[in-house]
A = this chain, B = another copy of it.
Amino acid sequence: MTSQEIFEQVKKKKSFLCVGLDSDVNKIPHFLYDTSDPVFAFNKEIIDATHDLAVAYKPNLAFYESMGVSGWNTLEKTVNYIRYNYPDIFIIADAKRGDIGNTSNLYARAFFDAMDFDAVTVAPYMGEDSVKPFLTYVGKYVILLALTSNKGASDFQYMAEDGERLFEKVIKNSQEWGDSENMMYVVGATKAEMLKDIRKIAPKHFLLVPGVGAQGGSLAEVARNGLNSKCGLLVNSSRGIIFAGNGEDFAAKAREAAQEVQSEMAGLLSEANLL
């Protein structure tokens, strides 16, 4: 998928919402436990209820791996379901992988060949050869962790050498490995004031922004500091949407929550003259 195609979808849906499918089996409505694959049944209903409001889905792999073989199966079915029914939607494997070259190659194969993800999140600690194997797939993206939304982000990511912080070094150096057609960055919404600095060194890239909602980041602040001429933002919300309700009407509740975010996004896109 090209960044232009993502932008077309943003304009059509008036949304830059990514729904995080952090579908914890312990938190989904209990009546789904009667089905043969409760998490898939949950995902399917969430996707059907929000597909016209979201431009991306992002399963976090931990929630699937923690269920072992059956979880991996659920993940594959979920990706296939989205791809088959809503082929325009961007699908992100939130995997935070990163290993030596020949091993990253295999992860790339797992997410881009064996499954049909459009993007995978990657941790930058091991440097260029751990990232490059993901960049050889045309139309697929590495989403590199830059500045994360969690508390521990401050442990190492702000470390500075000659005035350049680690997250800035990651963004700068990695632009020698790829470009805005095969790379994006994770920038937490809880650091929205940093988005201005980041836009100076990565003006064209899409940024994946977690941390709006449950983690406390402000959508308006993210948009005002982070939007570029082709949107350039995918803002993720997970729990706030998928667990908005817990009864028979959980999908309708999720839709309402997504609609609320989408409607705010439509206003912000319009304010930035992007519609």
Total identical chains:
2
* Shortest distance from the beta carbon of A175 to any chain B beta carbon, whole Å: 13
Among residues of B, the one whose C-beta sits closest to the C-beta of A146 is: B125
Task: Flag whether A182 is at the interface (Cβ < 8 A).
Answer: no
Q: Please tell me if the beta carbons of A96 and B67 are within 8 angstroms of each other in the complex.
A: no
Within 8 Å by CB of A153, from B126, B148, B159, lies B126
**A68-B72, A69-B72, A96-B99 given; A106·B159 CB < 8 A:** no
Q: With both chains docked as a complex, state the minimum distance between the C-beta of A130 and any C-beta of chain B, in angstroms.
A: 5
Bound-complex Cα distance A150 to B150 (A): 28
Those of A42-74 within 8 Å (CB) of chain B:
60, 62-63, 65-69, 72-73
Asked if residues A127 and B151 are in contact (CB atoms below 8 Å), the reply is: yes
Separation of A244 and B109 alpha carbons in the complex (Å): 25
CB distance from A187 to the nearest CB of B (A): 13
Contact of A160 with B157 in the complex, beta carbons under 8 Å: no
Least distance between A23 CB and chain B CB atoms (Å): 11
Is A103's beta carbon under 8 Å from chain B? Answer: yes
Q: How far is the CA of A124 from the CA of B125 in the complex (A)?
A: 8
Report A69 CB to chain B, min CB distance, Å. Answer: 5
Q: Are A107 and B150 in contact (CB under 8 A)?
A: no
Chain A residues near B (Cβ < 8 Å): 22, 24, 60, 62-63, 65-69, 72-73, 76, 94, 96-101, 103-104, 106-107, 109-110, 114-115, 123-131, 145, 148-157, 159-161, 166, 169-170, 173
| 19 A–B contacts, CB within 8 A, in A order | A62-B103, A62-B104, A62-B106, A63-B103, A66-B110, A68-B110, A68-B114, A68-B115, A100-B149, A123-B123, A124-B156, A126-B148, A126-B152, A127-B154, A127-B157, A129-B152, A155-B173, A159-B169, A160-B161
**What 6 A-B pairs are tightest by C-beta distance, nearest first?**
A127-B152, A127-B155, A62-B106, A66-B106, A66-B110, A129-B152
